[in-house]
Amino acid sequence: MNPYYFASIALILIGLYAVLTKRNVLKILVGLSIMETGVNLLLISVGYVSGRSAPILSEGITPDRAVDPIPQALVLTAIVIGVATTAMALSVVINLYERYKTLNVEEIRRLRG
Amino acid sequence: MVKRILAIVFILIIGFWMAKALDQIPFGQDRMLVGKYYLEHVTEDTGAINAVTAVVVNYRGFDTLGEVTVLFIASTGVAALLWRKKRKRTAKTEGSIVLTTGARLLLPFIMLFGAYIFIHGHLTPGGGFPGGATIATAFLFFYLAFTVYEIDHKIFEPLEGFAGLGYVTVGLIGLAIGGYFLFDWIWQTWGIGRENVGRLLSAGFIPIIYTLIGIKVGTELTGIVDNMIKEPEEGG
């Protein structure tokens, strides 16, 4: 059993639990963000190589002493996209609240009929 | 209650299978295939010493253009979702004296720090996205401190468009000179900065593009903050 991925799996599962059980839309969004953090952490840790440093090739860091740069670049993209989608979702939540005066998903569903 | 127990059981099953799958992937071992090529050729290909920046801006520059577009669409989407005829700030209480004085004093330094982060993107960890986010933080600080503060939309929106257009223009110049979109003509054709790799004036168009991305991300995130913080006027 490989224990190194435990933190990222735990973050993904905590987020999933929040998404599944919470009724407040904001809390569901928080859960999604936690899940996203877990996935990013998982990607970064897949690219890690023991005993090597960050891929900035200065001060004695030669190419065979640096970790894989590709997962880091992809996670940089993923973080930005995550921020953008979270901002979109939050504005939808603001609209929902202005319309229904509640954030409870079940009540919103009932109001729609 | 039943829902929670079901959720926990579901999560335990998913967690078990995730752990099972990741068990096959050894941690901390060298599995680089493409990454090795990037690391070995990054300095001669792009002039940047930060391999992550080189991958983001140079090797996968088109991908980053798409990313900036997604951010732009999201910012436009936020504006469209929150659009009302009359929107005004409705905050009643001014920030405390610590907050207002701190905002006045710190704003130039936070912006300077953001600019430092995106200008040195090819040398240090960081780049356009974190630098732009730092600049947006400075404006968020101003919004929190002063109830009447509002950014100048006449400056911010043209700046945002100019930065995006600048990125495409840099790519198109590369197309005209080198034959493909986002060709690094400053480094590959002109060879500017070949003798001072690892200093500020090197790495071809990476500092230019990261400056444009920093301006674009900063103005876009500030626009999102502005849209979210304003509320519709009563009966508006």
Residue B60, chain A, CB below 8 Å: the answer is yes
pLDDT, position A39: 92
Over range B109-129, report the average pLDDT. 85
Name every chain B residue with its beta carbon within 8 A of the beta carbon of A58. 49, 123, 198
Structure tokens at B26: 């050894």
pLDDT, position B223: 86
pLDDT, position B43: 78
Question: In this model, does residue B236 exceed pLDDT 70?
Answer: no
Q: Which residue has the tokens 């190194």?
A: A4
Contact check, Cβ <8 Å, B81/A88: yes
Q: Give A17 to chain B, closest Cα distance, Å.
A: 7
What percentage of chain B exceeds 90 in pLDDT?
3
pLDDT in tens, A56-97: 777 777 777 888 888 888 898 888 888 888 988 988 888 888
pLDDT in tens, B140-173: 888 888 877 777 778 888 888 888 888 888 888 8
Q: Which residue has the tokens 């301006």?
A: B215
pLDDT, position A60: 73
Give the DSSP H or E segment for B236. none
pLDDT, position A46: 84
Interface contacts A/B by beta carbons within 8 Å: 142
Residue B181 CA to residue B64 CA, distance in Å, equals 13
Given CA atoms B202, B206, B209, B213 in this order, what sign does their dihedral have? negative
pLDDT, position A1: 58
Mean pLDDT of chain B: 83
Residue B236, chain A, CB below 8 Å: the answer is no
Query: Which is nearest to A70 in space by CA: B60, B71, B48, B207?
Result: B60
Judged on CB neighbours under 10 Å (0-12, 13-18, 19+), B201 is exposed
Backbone angles phi, psi at B23, to 5 degrees: -60, -30
Question: In this model, does residue B185 exceed pLDDT 50?
Answer: yes
Provide the 8-state DSSP code for B187: I
